[in-house]
Chains A and B, each alone.
Chain A
Amino acid sequence: MKHGRLRFLIGALLPALVLHVVFVLSPYGQAFYLSLTDWTGVAGEAHFVGAGNYARLGGDSLFLDAVRNNAVMLICVPLVTIALGLFLASMLHLGGRSGRSSIRGAGAYQIVYFFPQLLSLVIVAVLWQFVYNPTNGLLNGALRAVGLDGLARSWLAEPKLALPAIMAVLVWSSVGFYMVLFSAAIDGIPKELFEAALLDGAGSWATFRRVTLPLVRDTVQVSFVYLGITALDGFAVVQIMTVGPGGPDGATEVIGLSLYRAAFFYGKFGYASAMGVTLFFATLTFAVLALRSGRKERLELS
């Protein structure tokens, strides 16, 4: 029995551990080391350059554009997505009595809202490239159809519009998921609390602010972290949709794209790894800050 136990444990753990070490742990480890070298892919030709790559990153204007764009996305995408998701989720519940039971057609709405979440970001990006097409796209077509010809633009070609256009796509693709998530969180709030609020004469807005929002706060916080991490990526959408990609003139450059280009077009593997390490610390800092804030004032629901 004892013997069989050991054999079973080894059989269950070892294959996955080997896979994990070879394809996950060792690449992560190597990345930190490579970021301190000038390696260009030739075996044995990696020279240690210390923090040289990082110093160069600080003077790389395209990389700084990428950092700025990722920072803008990191703030805007989660905020807009969460606001819209919360709004739709509470609308779904507001329609019913006592702030909980759902409105008519709630099921159908949830099905449709969730569609974009199921699609690969590649499909979403190719689709929206068509939507934004200046001459035959859906968006300009819609604007012209309602007589707003003046608002029609080349959405992805104007430096000021390209990044917001990209962020809109990211928001579009994730609102449904977070709406379903928040909706489930609201369903988890005890019914009595809404009834009490109703008895106290609280309106919809007051109920939302004083009851719903504090009680779904944890879910919102976790969502913020997930969305932020997605926004720190943004690679697929930018690489497929934008001119350049990353353009016009660096307006939509993101760190992932800079890294991909440095590594797989220019063969600067050491430099690219330094970007990866930078991205890692940015992600880590963001996640820690976002999860820490407001820990103390957390509400306990007994």
Chain B
Amino acid sequence: MKRVPIHLAMLAWGVVTALPLLWAIVSSFKTDNDILNDPWSLPTEPRWGNWSRAWSQANIGRYFFNSLIVVGGGLLLTMLLGSMVAYALARYEFRGNRLIYYVFVAAMFFPVFLALVPLFFVVEQLGLLGTYQGLILVYAAYAVPFTVFFLHAFFKTLPSEVAEAAFLDGCSHGTVFFRVMLPMARPGLVAVGIFNFLGLWNQYLLPLVLNPDPDRYVLAQGLAALSVSQGYRSDWSGLFAGLTIAMLPVLIAYVVFQRHIRAGMTAGAVK
């Protein structure tokens, strides 16, 4: 009996969380008229046309593809550079080690807004404004500090016997890192990789400033532009379809890998 109010409280927040999301998904199958007449009604028949209109006419498909390239490239570069730096700093002693560590980690405490104006000109002068390469490099540059911070602690805890044995067998430093230490660090790589993927996939401010070409818009940027553009302001069903297309892959991936993802997302905060 005592538990009924508890369940009610939990359920209430569940509804508050899920209802807007469900509403967007359901509305993406309705006609504009259905949506405008009664926001609560169910679709009379599923209108897949909304989805194809959003995907091709409203360019959500292209934005999706752009996001895949930029986030994929950025993530790969972040993980490669971040793990190398973290490993070198955690497992080798040399002068300046602490200094390099702090130079990386200190960047986590600066708001990106502070760098925004000069960053725009740095990217412009390198001729990288509005290019995939430019965004990939900037994404990686801003994701590496946390990756180093997280993996540094992780590499410190790994045992050194296996690496020593590999050295005795004549392996080079590079081989030991790529063949021995990286595979051992897999749980840490997965956690920080998931964290970085979501952070980069959801990035908005950096592309907004550094990626002005509408053909190269990433998903978040394209959706934001659509929601304020005159032509689509009134196309509710198309926008809902676009929203759903943007939400579903992440939500489905989450339901499948939820334990990993929650661990990865919260790991950074617990440290």
- In the assembled complex, the CB of A265 is this many whole angstroms from the nearest CB of chain B, namely 12
- In the assembled complex, the CB of A2 is this many whole angstroms from the nearest CB of chain B, namely 11
- With the chains together, A287 CA to B172 CA distance in Å? 43
Range of interface residues on B (Cβ < 8 Å): 35 or more
Residues A111 and B17 in contact, CB atoms below 8 Å apart: no
* A116 and chain B: residue at smallest CB distance: B17
User: Which residue from A12, A19, A219 sits with its C-beta under 8 Å from B141?
Assistant: A19
- In the assembled complex, the CB of A6 is this many whole angstroms from the nearest CB of chain B, namely 9
**Interface residues in B75-101 (C-beta closer than 8 Å to A):** 81-82, 84-85, 87-89, 92, 94, 100
Q: What DSSP secondary structure best describes chain B's contact surface? A: helix
- In the assembled complex, the CB of A152 is this many whole angstroms from the nearest CB of chain B, namely 12
B residues less than 8 Å from A141 (CB atoms): 38-40
Given the known interface contacts A13-B88, A28-B107, A115-B21, the answer about A126 and B223 at a Cβ–Cβ threshold of 8 Å is yes
Residues A131 and B239 in contact, CB atoms below 8 Å apart: no
**Interface residues in A134-190 (C-beta closer than 8 Å to B):** 135-138, 141-142, 145, 172, 175-177, 180-181, 184-185
Residues B7 and A103 in contact, CB atoms below 8 Å apart: yes
User: Which residue from B18, B35, B201 sits with its C-beta under 8 Å from A120?
Assistant: B201
- With the chains together, A202 CA to B163 CA distance in Å? 52
- With the chains together, A276 CA to B112 CA distance in Å? 9
The reply to whether the CB of B57 lies closer than 8 angstroms to some CB of chain A is no
The reply to whether the CB of B48 lies closer than 8 angstroms to some CB of chain A is no
B residues less than 8 Å from A273 (CB atoms): 117-118
User: Which residue from B23, B224, B266 sits with its C-beta under 8 Å from A126?
Assistant: B224
A residues less than 8 Å from B100 (CB atoms): 13, 17
Residues A287 and B116 in contact, CB atoms below 8 Å apart: no
Residues A180 and B266 in contact, CB atoms below 8 Å apart: yes
- Among A11, A130, A280, which residue has the most Cβ atoms of chain B within 10 A? A130
- With the chains together, A187 CA to B25 CA distance in Å? 34
What 0/1 pattern do residues 214 to 228 of A give for CB contact below 8 A with B? 000001001100100
The reply to whether the CB of A95 lies closer than 8 angstroms to some CB of chain B is yes
User: Which residue from A115, A127, A180, A277 sits with its C-beta under 8 Å from B114?
Assistant: A277
Binding-face segment, A47-55, A72-80, A84-92: A84-92
Given the known interface contacts A240-B228, A276-B111, A280-B110, the answer about A19 and B144 at a Cβ–Cβ threshold of 8 Å is yes
Range of interface residues on A (Cβ < 8 Å): 35 or more
A residues less than 8 Å from B262 (CB atoms): 110, 114, 180
Residues B250 and A95 in contact, CB atoms below 8 Å apart: no
B residues less than 8 Å from A23 (CB atoms): 119, 122-123, 137-138, 141-142
- In the assembled complex, the CB of A207 is this many whole angstroms from the nearest CB of chain B, namely 14
- With the chains together, A84 CA to B255 CA distance in Å? 23
- In the assembled complex, the CB of B187 is this many whole angstroms from the nearest CB of chain A, namely 16
* A108 and chain B: residue at smallest CB distance: B14
User: Which residue from B18, B35, B174, B198 sits with its C-beta under 8 Å from A11?
Assistant: B174
Q: Give the number of A-B contacts (CB < 8 Å).
A: 260
What 0/1 pattern do residues 230 to 263 of A give for CB contact below 8 A with B? 0011011001100000000000000110011001
- With the chains together, A236 CA to B118 CA distance in Å? 20
The reply to whether the CB of B209 lies closer than 8 angstroms to some CB of chain A is yes
Residues B39 and A103 in contact, CB atoms below 8 Å apart: no
The reply to whether the CB of B220 lies closer than 8 angstroms to some CB of chain A is yes
The reply to whether the CB of A26 lies closer than 8 angstroms to some CB of chain B is yes
- With the chains together, A279 CA to B110 CA distance in Å? 9
**Interface residues in B2-57 (C-beta closer than 8 Å to A):** 3, 6-7, 9-10, 13-14, 16-21, 23-24, 27, 35-36, 38-40
Other than the given A233-B111, A239-B224, 16 more pairs (CB < 8 A) read A4-B172, A8-B172, A8-B177, A12-B87, A23-B137, A31-B114, A114-B262, A118-B198, A118-B254, A126-B223, A138-B19, A181-B266, A272-B116, A276-B114, A283-B109, A284-B109
8 tightest A-B CB contacts, nearest first:
A120-B202, A8-B173, A23-B141, A30-B118, A27-B115, A27-B118, A12-B84, A122-B220
**18 examples of A-B residue contacts, CB within 8 angstroms:** A11-B174, A16-B148, A17-B100, A20-B145, A27-B122, A92-B10, A95-B3, A95-B7, A114-B254, A117-B265, A119-B202, A120-B202, A120-B203, A121-B202, A131-B20, A240-B224, A276-B114, A280-B114
